[in-house]
Amino acid sequence: MTQETSMTGRPVISATGLFTPEQSISNDELVASFNAFVERFNAQNADAIAAGEVEALHPSSVEFIEKASGIKARHVLSKEPILDPAIMEPRLEERGNDELSQMAEIGVAACRQALERAGRDAKDVDAVLCAASNMERPYPAMAIEIQQALGIDGFGFDMNVACSSATFGIQTAADYIRAGNAKSVLVVSPEITSGHLNWRDRDSHFIFGDVATAVLVEEEAIAPAEHWDILGTKLKTVFSNNIRNNFGFLNRASPDGVGKADKLFVQEGRKVFKEVVPMVAEMIVSEADRLGIDPQGLRRLWLHQANAGMNRLIAHRVLGHEADADESPTVLDTYGNTSSAGSIIAFHLHSDDLAGGDTGLICSFGAGYSAGTVFVRKAA
Ligand code: COA
């Protein structure tokens, strides 16, 4: 597409796709494995602990996890090694250069479903944005591999805005359509978050799960009759160290694992909770105002899925009352926090029942800090 061909594209969401790994870990299984690791660590370090040189580790609890987060289970691509107290990380086989890589494989599965649901031939897609918290390698871009696997003639690139990657991807795709640079863009979020989670850290070992989502953003003129108009998008970032991962190509963990913990996900959960809830609630309300939408009239909120308590508070501030499951659906209980994919899973699984003319909000928030809102209305 060139800029001259169209200057007035109206972006819509034509369809979404979801890939869910078959394997799932319950809180019971997770805590049993974690506590076996704790027992082993404390036994192996008994003398040093008694001498006050090493701190004893404390066991995790199913009750705490569910009460503090709302998470009951999470899907993963590599269950056995994660639950093995001697390993406690995913072990995904390294693939050859001629094989489809892990992220591309699950991303392609989600994209295929979105394309099928939209009745769209991959040949008619112009671009692929791979928007996720972690990339399997620096280059070639995951998006270009996904583009090639789907047979798309166009362009692709990767983008990372942590938990807000998908909404930032949707605005980027919408802007291409608004500017006439593309008519059909796949925003794919393969989130293999089990790889950045420190499964040995009691404060966070329960948080994340693996998944892939895809959102097909298109110009209204070519979209299927059943689609969602994008009424407006808004992005915001505010620097914070409260959610951080220092892994990078300049500072790989040493082979003996020294210093490894900060090369994985680390957070000050309480601070995140306190700082992000008001920021996001304010952003939603002021963006609704800018768009002339009554926030209390929103039919459904598809919020980022990190913590049930955060969502309860944000939904209450936006809707003006305690939201029920129909107004603010949760997928966190079975998927865990899937980073940028969370609000898209919620939208994918809980939007078919809405009526033409219903207005809702897809909203993300997370590391950066970053937050994104996408107000949508079901086509009548
Ligand atoms: N099992 C049992 N107890 C645990 C535990 C576990 N796995 N982890 C922590 N605890 C204990 C703590 O030691 C603490 O005990 P203390 O009161 O005796 O000191 C107590 O539980 C409370 O810990 P805290 O970390 O303050 O819990 P919390 O209520 O803040 O919940 C989170 C923790 C992470 C679930 C919550 O802060 C959160 O979800 N924050 C937002 C996170 C977020 O959205 N991040 C974005 C990621 S992309």
Cis peptide before 224 (omega within 30 of 0): no
Spell out the residues 6+ positions from residue 313 whose beta carbon is closer than 8 angstroms to its own: 277, 281
Q: Is the CB of 61 under 6 A from ligand 1?
A: yes
pLDDT for the residue numbered 263: 85
Name the stretches of the chain with pLDDT < 70: 1-7, 252-259
Block residue for tokens 């291409």: 176
Q: Break the chain into its structural domains and give their ranges.
A: 2-21+94-227, 229-378
Nearest residue by C-alpha to atom 8 in ligand 1: 203
Q: 351 CA to middle of ligand 1, Å?
A: 31
pLDDT for the residue numbered 260: 78
Q: Is the CB of 330 under 6 A from ligand 1?
A: no
Substitution candidate for ligand 1 out of 268, 270, 369 with most atoms within 8 A of CB: 270
Q: Which CATH number fits domain 229-378: 3.40.47.10, 3.30.70.100, 3.30.43.10, 1.10.1740.10?
A: 3.40.47.10
**In ligand 1, which atom is closest to the CA atom of 204?**
34
**In ligand 1, which atom is closest to the CA atom of 163?**
48
pLDDT for the residue numbered 11: 98
Q: Which CATH number fits domain 2-21+94-227: 3.30.390.10, 3.40.640.10, 3.50.50.60, 3.40.47.10?
A: 3.40.47.10
pLDDT for the residue numbered 4: 40
Q: Where are the beta strands (DSSP E) in the chain?
A: 11-19, 24-26, 73-75, 127-131, 155-159, 184-192, 210-219, 228-237, 243-244, 266-267, 300-303, 359-366, 370-378
pLDDT digits 0-9 by tens, 150-172: 999 999 999 999 999 999 999 99
Q: Is the CB of 260 under 6 A from ligand 1?
A: no
Q: Are residues 261 and 255 in contact, defined by beta-carbon separation less than 8 angstroms?
A: no
pLDDT for the residue numbered 48: 97
Per the DSSP assignment, residues forming a β-bridge with 131 are 159
Q: 270 CA to middle of ligand 1, Å?
A: 7
pLDDT for the residue numbered 8: 72
Residue numbers annotated as active site:
163
Considering only CA atoms, which of 191, 167, 188, 212 is closest in space to residue 303?
167
Give CA–CA dist 340/158, Å, rounded: 14
Block residue for tokens 């620097």: 239
Give the distance from CA 209 to its chain's centroid: 9
* Domain pair 2-21+94-227 / 229-378, same fold: yes
From residue 200, alpha-carbon distances to 35, 42, 136, 241, 372 in Å are 10, 13, 22, 21, 31
Q: Is the CB of 371 under 6 A from ligand 1?
A: no
